[in-house]
Structure 1
Amino acid sequence: MNRTAILSRLRQLGGAGLGAPLLVLLILMLLVIPLPAFVLDLFFTFNIALSLIILLVVIYTAKPLEFAVFPTVLLVATLMRLGLNVASTRIVLLEGHESPDAAGKVIEAFGAFVIGGNFAVGLVVFAILVIINFVVVTKGAGRVSEVSARFTLDAMPGKQMAIDADLNAGLIDADEARARREEIAREADFYGAMDGASKFVRGDAIAGILILFINVIGGLAIGMGQHDMPLAEATERYVLLSIGDGLVAQIPSLLLSVASAILVTRVGSGSEDVGQQFSAQFLNHPRALAISAGVILLLGLVPGMPHLPFLLLGTLLGGSAWWLMQRARQAAVEAGPVAETPAAGGEAEVKELTWEDVMPVDRIGLQVGYRLIPLVDKQQGGQLMGRIKGVRKKLSQELGFLIPPVHIRDNLDLPPNAYRLQILGVTVGEAEIHPDREMAINPGQVFGSVQGIEGQDPAFGLDAVWIEPAQKDHAQALGYTVVDPETVIATHLSQVLQDHAYELFGHEEAQQWLDNLAKVAPKLAESLVPDTIPLTLLVKVLQNLLKEKIPIRDMITIAETLAEYGRTSQDPDALTAAVRAALGRAIVQQINGLAEELPVITLDPELEQLLQKTLQSAGAEGAGVEPGLAQRIHQLLEEQARKLETAGKPAVLLVSSMLRSWLARFVRHTIPGLHVLSYNEVPEDQQVKVVGVVGQRA
């Protein structure tokens, strides 16, 4: 059977669930059945190799969750090592009087060759290894595991809120959000398991000390009492065997402790292992190597010092620093080529102006200060371009038409940390951010404060603090929602695009909308434009819907309604009202979700009749409404809307279809949280509860 077949067979046994039972049987065999010395040598060698493999896997692991099975591996390896201790103790006490290699060649080698056959030296070496393992490595790793587990659990709510914020902003989809939540849960489980597994390692170190003394005392008692050995011979024989046994177990234990400490102290980007981090961070400072080389060389010149080691090491450090500096200088030259300049004697030819020189206005523009350029430069690790693409994809799917590309430019007239959002060349939002910090947003209830630069979330105006990245876990544990600078800009852009979506929808978008309709309902699309309504009227109706934040995804319902009412009316407001009534169920669900009862505010019948008469005589714009009455209505509506928002309910004003359009324009910008619906937009099976009435004498 070749090697491939053997490996395939082993994988089949492991996949069949036989690996764990076989391992348990092995450990039981070590505890119960006496083993020959040769088999014990194989197990000891396997134990050392297994510990070394685990250590190397940890070193080459990019992030802890890639080796999430480590706590279980640590426990199993510890139990196996303790089983080997029991098996070796049995054979040392039973056959140790016969020869120095009675317990196997491995224990003899560690007792004779490693410590030179001197049991006093062996005791000192064993004590030093135990102190290193128990006092330094194991204790430190256990403390780090405990703190990491506590901080990870405390930071889970904040991390979950950050994922929800990214999902709502369109930066990630539902699958990625689910994957991130699972990763957070796995991370908490991992550090919790590591906290418990570190106790096994600590107990193993204590057990090694106790087993050594038990072996020494038991060996002396058996050697002198049962085999009539002199004290000196029994001491030399059993103490050397016990020390060899202890060293064979203590070295793998130390390797596993180091692996555990490396894994829980990892602070990485998730894409680099320990070696890559060392090369990228430690060797990225040739100046430090050069100064160290100078100090070592000076020490080597001091009289009385050993010159050769200091001078040799100083020369190596200096050469390394020089090589790193040369490499950095060459990389800088390759990254920034010198621009060519025109000849001194010639002048550039001035070309005739053409229409190509007239630059069109960017439909969506993002201008950034020079300190924000790394956020949009992929070569410098910037992720803003990907975030913006995610925002466009999410909004396009929600609104029902393709959001145009965002043109990003640097603007030296802006402050270094500022950015500006523009729609059709007009600025609609701007803010300043700190690219080297993260924004901790106060969602309304936090359990403490964080140190940083006070500010506001530019998208929703919430209080926020710009904190150092190292404070992220602490801020999340206090209840803050922590987002990076790219997310701040992307969320602000998403909010602006939703508010101004109707300005981005034009004739080209309407034609694309019709083309998509033709794919699912070709006859309906063919009869709608231009047979029933012109394209210009379709654009106006769809813009009206988007202005009131109603998606135009349901193309068939919209087209069928326009085809029905377009033959009797060409008024865009009347057609918009008809489409809204057809989309009533979707509109109510968008506002109130799946709740059975819809809380609404209504107008007093006298006030409603007064406004209807005024609009009939003065026109739909409401120019004839008395200013004092309009101000009073606005004040009362604002109070009612605030009460509902405080109670966690949507604010809905329910009026007649004649008043809906004017009242919607009346409160659109001043009371943005108030939704204005007409009676015929509420589905017949929807339960309505009147929670407030607005009257002119209220």
Structure 2
Amino acid sequence: MQARDLSVLLSVILIVAMLIIPFPSWMLSILIIINISLALLVLLTSMNMQEPLQFSIFPSLLLLLTLFRLGLNVSTTRSILSTGDAGGVVHTFGTFVVGGNIVVGFVVFLILVVIQFIVITKGSERVSEVAARFTLDAMPGKQMSIDADLNAGMISDTEARERRDKVSREADFYGAMDGASKFVKGDAIAGIIIVLINLLFGFIIGMTQHGLGFQESLSKFTLLTIGDGLVSQIPALLISTATGIVVTRAASEGNLGTDITKQLFAYPKMLYVTAGTIFLLGLFTPIHDLLTISISSFLAIGGFMISKSKDQEIQLEPDTEEEVQVEDLKSPESVVNLLNVDPIEFEFGYGLIPLADTNQGGDILDRIVMIRRQLAIELGLVVPVVRIRDNIQLQPNEYRLKIKGSEMARGELLLDHYLAMSPGYEDDSIEGIDTVEPSFGLPAKWIAENMKEQAEMLGYTVVDPPSVVSTHITEVIRRNAHELLGRQETKQLIDHLKESYPILVDEVTPNPLSVGDVQKVLAKLLKESVSIRNLPIVFETLADFGRMTTDTDLLTEYVRQALARQITNQYIVQGETMKVVTLSGRVEKFVADGVQQTEHGNYLSIDPSVSQSIIESIAKQIETVSIQEQSPILLCSPAVRMYVRQLIERYFPQVPVLSYNELEANVEVQSVGVVNID
């Protein structure tokens, strides 16, 4: 155990001992001086901190100091009532304050108690209560602000995590301060009660047990009581002041001394006004002129010196800024930072600024938060932060989406219109600007707001511009999710899984599979729209087959078969037969015979004319299925599935290719077409 930990434990034990064991008067004097020193240290620390969280231990420290002070009160009370002596410090304080007049000393003590209890303690308690309430009420807004900055790319994930943690700690701190302020109030009340007990019972004990006369007993125990009250109330007053400073330092920029001097003297001309007022006060009242003239002169000279220093700062400021800018350009960090490429960027023309401006009702930031959550649930992938910025190089109503620096999609919005997609037939009464729905390439029209209700009654799907762009962003990210999953992102997923399945993760990586191997398997799954959210099943499969082969293509096939239930549910409609397009035996043989095996993996190599015939036949079957308003699904044997996918992904990237082993046994399958070649 470290020395500092041991010292705190011994201090707590000492407090408990003071409540039970009588201490000698010389030891009480030492503890009283320590108590005053600690109170002064706490006050100075609270004045020099820049924000309340820098003194986050204050609520607990306040409890310990209050208990320490009450323990001292108990010990000094025991000593006063039993021996008529509480040490030299108590006697000195009592003698110094009383100064030969018991009444004056008692009045001074009462004034100190009133100052602490009525002014400082009461105010600190109220500020703590209001601060705790307002901090808790503001938490949702602060969290939303952090999410908005994160999605706008203004802060990183680490910074967002730190800010959320700070918001949480602030709420905990002010909540604790609300309760801790009650300790100070209770301590003040206990101090008053202890003083009355010392005074009353000390007077009685002095006359009955110590054989003192009325006047002598009253004088002696009043002196000791006032001395004891002072040595406890002065530290209590310092602690109460520190409490008030801590809970009122909400908007400070530096320590208390810096803030006071900076803000109080921010307007030097006000010192001239104050100096003039004091001068006139001496001129028109009986106050001595020498006193008012000296103070007003001091204020005027101070105002002149502060004004002069501010003028010099203003003159030096442009040169300083220029030097900083030149230094930044010279520093290597300024160039290195330019090399960073954001994973996802959303850029828009100046005409679409209202989309992102919350003051104009824009909610694109909130929508992107929901997109990231939706894709995390659907794909099991933590989508990186989307950096949002305006770009004057784009047309006013144009936007584009970039992934890792490359443009992946572009579109155009009319903010004062709605996008209407026809139900399969066009109605001439719906007038608008012909366009194409950006997410799925469907024909559509931009219609005015007064046409919206009519279009909906005719069966059109009417969507507002923010929904159009958010859907487009969602689909583009979903189609390119495999590019967003790198080794670093894979390592984060593995670390998250390891918290719940440590043994499973240890069986897979780093041996027999590296993080790169796992990343390739997961990326291949995402590329074919297979969710990787169920990572335990993925890793169970990799653990089973990873020692047999490190071919990521084969491992992906094994994982797909392990995810058969998930894949089946992804494409089947409950209560309906799954309609698929199958491959003829001849086509599957052509594909199987064209597989070339090398030490670096297998690849498909077949005659171009044969592959062209296969693709044309697939295109014909897909067109037939699409006419029937059904989504085409290609079904083949497990041995050739990944090679068929390689063959058609350039031409039909959205058509899923499944194998028989990826469908559950109870699924009813109906073939609505067969791919064949002559």
TM interval, shorter chain, is: 0.5 to 0.7
Does the aligned pair in 2 maintain the 1:60–1:273 contact within 8 Å? yes
Measure the CA separation in 1 of the matches of 2:664 and 2:267. Answer: 70
| Structure 2 residue identity aligned to 1:12 | Q
Instruction: Show the counterpart of 2:277.
Output: 295
Does the aligned pair in 1 maintain the 2:151–2:365 contact within 8 Å? no
SS of the residue aligned with 1:114?
Answer: helix
Does the aligned pair in 2 maintain the 1:584–1:682 contact within 8 Å? no
1:551-570 correspondence to structure 2 within 5 Å = 552=483
1:244-643 correspondence to structure 2 within 5 Å = 244-268=227-251, 272-336=254-318, 393=340, 395-396=342-343, 429-431=352-354, 455-457=361-363, 491-492=388-389, 499-501=400-402, 505=406, 549-550=480-481, 552=483, 583=524, 585-586=526-527, 588-589=529-530, 596=566
Measure the CA separation in 1 of the matches of 2:386 and 2:529. Answer: 31
Measure the CA separation in 1 of the matches of 2:22 and 2:350. Answer: 84
Measure the CA separation in 1 of the matches of 2:403 and 2:23. Answer: 82
Q: Residues 399-428 of structure 1: CA distance to partner in whole angstroms, max 9, x if unpaired? A: 6xxx8xx9xxxxxxxxxxxxxx67xxx768
Measure the CA separation in 2 of the matches of 1:263 and 1:550. Answer: 48
Instruction: Show the counterpart of 1:107.
Output: 90
Instruction: Show the counterpart of 1:71.
Output: 59
How much has 1:393 moved relative to structure 2? 5.0
1:122 aligns with 2:105: yes
TM-score by length of 1: 0.55
Does the aligned pair in 2 maintain the 1:71–1:197 contact within 8 Å? yes
Match of 1:677 among 648, 654, 675: 654
Measure the CA separation in 2 of the matches of 1:77 and 1:582. Answer: 58
Distance 1:689 1:70, change over 3 A: farther
Instruction: Show the counterpart of 1:31.
Output: 19
Match of 2:189 among 206, 226, 243: 206
Distance 1:498 1:688, change over 3 A: farther
How much has 1:283 moved relative to structure 2? 1.9
| Structure 2 residue identity aligned to 1:199 | K
SS of the residue aligned with 1:491?
Answer: strand
Distance 1:333 1:677, change over 3 A: same
Measure the CA separation in 1 of the matches of 2:660 and 2:275. Answer: 82
| Structure 2 residue identity aligned to 1:139 | K
Q: Residues 565-624 of structure 1: CA distance to partner in whole angstroms, max 9, x if unpaired? A: xxxxxxxxxxxxxx9x9945345257989894665699x99x999xxxxx999x99xxx9
How much has 1:58 moved relative to structure 2? 0.9
Measure the CA separation in 2 of the matches of 1:59 and 1:196. Answer: 21
Structure 1, unpaired ranges of 5+ = 1-10, 97-101, 339-376, 380-385, 407-420, 440-452, 463-487, 507-543, 557-578, 610-614, 634-652, 665-674, 691-698
Measure the CA separation in 1 of the matches of 2:182 and 2:404. Answer: 63
How much has 1:68 moved relative to structure 2? 1.3
Distance 1:25 1:285, change over 3 A: same
1:45 aligns with 2:33: yes
| Structure 2 residue identity aligned to 1:28 | V
Q: Residues 344-370 of structure 1: CA distance to partner in whole angstroms, max 9, x if unpaired? A: xxxxxxxxxxxxxxxxxxxxxxxxxxx
Does the aligned pair in 2 maintain the 1:498–1:549 contact within 8 Å? no
Measure the CA separation in 1 of the matches of 2:51 and 2:135. Answer: 15
How much has 1:278 moved relative to structure 2? 1.8
Does the aligned pair in 2 maintain the 1:148–1:191 contact within 8 Å? yes
SS of the residue aligned with 1:267?
Answer: coil
Aligned identity (percent) is 38
SS of the residue aligned with 1:588?
Answer: coil
Instruction: Show the counterpart of 1:645.
Output: none
| Structure 2 residue identity aligned to 1:307 | D
Measure the CA separation in 2 of the matches of 1:654 and 1:391. Answer: 45
SS of the residue aligned with 1:500?
Answer: strand
SS of the residue aligned with 2:342?
Answer: helix
Measure the CA separation in 2 of the matches of 1:586 and 1:239. Answer: 88
How much has 1:274 moved relative to structure 2? 1.4
Distance 1:583 1:683, change over 3 A: farther
Does the aligned pair in 1 maintain the 2:271–2:303 contact within 8 Å? yes
Measure the CA separation in 2 of the matches of 1:103 and 1:392. Answer: 73
Distance 1:587 1:498, change over 3 A: farther
1:65-214 correspondence to structure 2 within 5 Å = 65-96=53-84, 102-214=85-197
Measure the CA separation in 2 of the matches of 1:678 and 1:231. Answer: 107
How much has 1:502 moved relative to structure 2? 6.9
How much has 1:256 moved relative to structure 2? 0.2
Instruction: Show the counterpart of 2:462.
Output: none
Measure the CA separation in 2 of the matches of 1:209 and 1:555. Answer: 68
How much has 1:93 moved relative to structure 2? 1.8
Measure the CA separation in 1 of the matches of 2:276 and 2:479. Answer: 71
| Structure 2 residue identity aligned to 1:585 | L
How much has 1:328 moved relative to structure 2? 1.4
How much has 1:59 moved relative to structure 2? 0.8
Instruction: Show the counterpart of 2:202.
Output: 219
Instruction: Show the counterpart of 2:560.
Output: none
Does the aligned pair in 2 maintain the 1:61–1:273 contact within 8 Å? yes
How much has 1:199 moved relative to structure 2? 1.0
How much has 1:677 moved relative to structure 2? 3.1
Measure the CA separation in 1 of the matches of 2:193 and 2:199. Answer: 10
How much has 1:42 moved relative to structure 2? 0.9
Does the aligned pair in 1 maintain the 2:151–2:387 contact within 8 Å? no
| Structure 2 residue identity aligned to 1:302 | F
How much has 1:337 moved relative to structure 2? 6.2
Measure the CA separation in 2 of the matches of 1:549 and 1:278. Answer: 55
SS of the residue aligned with 2:353?
Answer: strand
Distance 1:582 1:306, change over 3 A: closer
Measure the CA separation in 1 of the matches of 2:141 and 2:366. Answer: 18
Distance 1:193 1:458, change over 3 A: closer
Measure the CA separation in 2 of the matches of 1:224 and 1:555. Answer: 88
Instruction: Show the counterpart of 1:481.
Output: none
Does the aligned pair in 1 maintain the 2:52–2:250 contact within 8 Å? no
Does the aligned pair in 2 maintain the 1:293–1:314 contact within 8 Å? yes
| Structure 1 residue identity aligned to 2:135 | T
Q: How many residues align?
A: 469
| Structure 2 residue identity aligned to 1:430 | I
Does the aligned pair in 2 maintain the 1:139–1:202 contact within 8 Å? yes
| Structure 2 residue identity aligned to 1:14 | R
| Structure 2 residue identity aligned to 1:60 | N
| Structure 1 residue identity aligned to 2:81 | L
| Structure 1 residue identity aligned to 2:28 | L
How much has 1:332 moved relative to structure 2? 1.4
How much has 1:49 moved relative to structure 2? 0.6
How much has 1:222 moved relative to structure 2? 0.9
Distance 1:267 1:233, change over 3 A: same
Does the aligned pair in 1 maintain the 2:485–2:523 contact within 8 Å? no
| Structure 2 residue identity aligned to 1:395 | D
Distance 1:655 1:145, change over 3 A: farther
Measure the CA separation in 1 of the matches of 2:663 and 2:274. Answer: 78
